[in-house]
Amino acid sequence: MPLSEHEQRMLEQIESALYAEDPKFASSVRGGRLRSTSSRRRLQAAALFVLGLFLLVAGIAAPVKPGGFPIISLVGFIVMFGAGVLLLVGGSKAAGKGNRSTDAPSGGPGGGRSGGPGRQRKSGGFSERMEDRFRRRFEQE
């Protein structure tokens, strides 16, 4: 079901507010940087996994086993495990960066916010501000 003209305008206003509030987040949501990071992370994890698998098999086949224990295989297993962990939790570091804008003071020229320029942002963050703006727009119409 297509959006009505009013809903389309509201969506455009929300989108422009998102770009104005947090341009780094908006560009990552757009898809450019986020996809390249995850594909690179997958490639790194796959290469580490293959290296770990090679070490695992080489450790079993190698005649060098100190104390009768295949230490090279253990290292290979640890590398494979690390590759799996890298694949699963590797993206959380990138998502946490660049989100300092919620701690910065708000206001300034052209900000369109009520209150003084030294006012701190609410702890609720972006979604709370968007809800407030949405309510104000409906009250005006």
Clarify whether residues 84 and 47 are in a common domain: yes
Clarify whether residues 44 and 84 are in a common domain: yes
Q: Which one-letter amino acid corresponds to residue 31?
A: G
What is the domain range of residue 15? 1-30
- Residue 70's pLDDT band, with cuts at 50, 70 and 90, is confident
Clarify whether residues 48 and 75 are in a common domain: yes
- Residue 112's pLDDT is 47
Q: 37 or 133: whose pLDDT is higher?
A: 133
For residues 74-104, b (16+ Cβ closer than 10 Å) or e, as one string? eebbebbeebeebbeebeeeeeeeeeeebee
pLDDT digits (tens, 9 = 90+) for 32-59: 444 445 788 889 899 999 999 999 999 8
- Residue 30's pLDDT is 67
Domain total in the chain = 2
